[in-house]
Amino acid sequence: MLFPFAAAIDSGLAVAAGLGLAAGGFAYASRWPASRVFGRALTAPARPGELALTFDDGPNPAWTPKLLDILAAHSVQATFFLLGGFASSQPDLVRRIAAEGHLLGNHSWSHPDLSRTPAHRIREELARTSDALQQIAGAPIRYFRPPYGARRPVVFRIARELQLTPVLWNAMTTDWSEPFAEKITARLAHKIDRLTQARRAVNIVLHDGGHRALGTNREPSIQAAQRLIARYNQTHAFVTLNAWSA
């Protein structure tokens, strides 16, 4: 059978079928952020001029505090997709993120590839993280971004059962491996300008942490965030994802 997930087919099918849903199609459907084959997710609405800065793989005691200082200095609110394992070891930092008006999201407990994780473990990764974040910050968690953007239908089904809206993105570059903030900034600015011209809001991914270890150096990503804020603060509105609530 060419496509085994009939229940999840929606408008993404035409695209996926056009690409040929064999092995390559599976990779497309399970990872490409624009693919809707495996269920709908929030990317960005038709609200040109709105930018959502989102930060994945934190909290990171080495860099998240500096990022929070930058955001506060410019009165910009962002969305943080936190790893439950890191968050549980950094409760004060998680509370600071929430107290400064940023939105907390669930990025799983330990950053597995959920397109290859058994359903019972997916549920454990997501539920444990939401519970921990809620206990620490005192507010329910409503947004979830799958690690690597990797998913299959059961991932989004479990997320929705846990009252989590799945979130992907429409502007990302390899900030985790790029040493020059200027390059990260230029690549993202190009995407922001193109999406703004196309009358879309922009859901920007940067990384304030690294999922392999607490304390990963994220100076280029944090500098890029600062530069993007300086570049767009006069012309665009920075929003958190609940402004686009699905």
Half-sphere exposure of 32 (CA within 13 A, CB side): 14
Selection from 158, 79, 169 nearest residue 125 by Cα: 158
Count other Cβ atoms within 10 Å, centred on residue 1. Answer: 6
Q: Which stretch binds Zn ion (CB under 5 A): 9-17, 51-59, 130-138, 182-190?
A: 51-59
CB of 67 to Zn ion, least distance (A): 16
CB of 209 to Zn ion, least distance (A): 8
| Catalytic pick among 56, 57, 175, 208 | 56
When asked if residue 58 is in the footprint of Zn ion (CB under 5 A), the reply is no
**For this structure, is 56 an active site residue?**
yes
Q: Which stretch binds Zn ion (CB under 5 A): 13-21, 41-49, 140-148, 236-244?
A: 140-148
- Encoded amino acid at 173, one letter: T
* Contact criterion met (CB below 8 Å) for 170 and 202: yes
Cα separations in angstroms, 221 against 100, 129, 187, 216, 241: 20, 24, 12, 11, 20
When asked if residue 57 is in the footprint of Zn ion (CB under 5 A), the reply is yes
Q: Which is nearer to Zn ion, 50 or 57 (CB)?
A: 57
End-to-end alpha carbon distance in the chain: 33
Torsion sign, CA atoms 141, 90, 176, 71: positive
Contacts of 159 (CB under 8 A, 6+ apart): 126, 144, 165, 166
- Number of residues in contact with Zn ion under rule CB under 5 A: 3
When asked if residue 147 is in the footprint of Zn ion (CB under 5 A), the reply is yes
When asked if residue 50 is in the footprint of Zn ion (CB under 5 A), the reply is no
When asked if residue 175 is in the footprint of Zn ion (CB under 5 A), the reply is no
- Return the residues of window 186-245 that contact Zn ion according to CB under 5 A: none
When asked if residue 39 is in the footprint of Zn ion (CB under 5 A), the reply is no
**For this structure, is 211 an active site residue?**
no
Q: Which is nearer to Zn ion, 25 or 147 (CB)?
A: 147
Instruction: Decide: helix, strand or coil at residue 238.
Output: strand
| Catalytic pick among 102, 107, 111, 207 | 207
When asked if residue 56 is in the footprint of Zn ion (CB under 5 A), the reply is yes
Distance CA 90, CA 69 (A): 17
Q: Which is nearer to Zn ion, 31 or 231 (CB)?
A: 31
Q: Which is nearer to Zn ion, 57 or 125 (CB)?
A: 57
Residues that bind Zn ion (CB under 5 A): 56-57, 147
Q: Which residue numbers are catalytic?
A: 56, 207
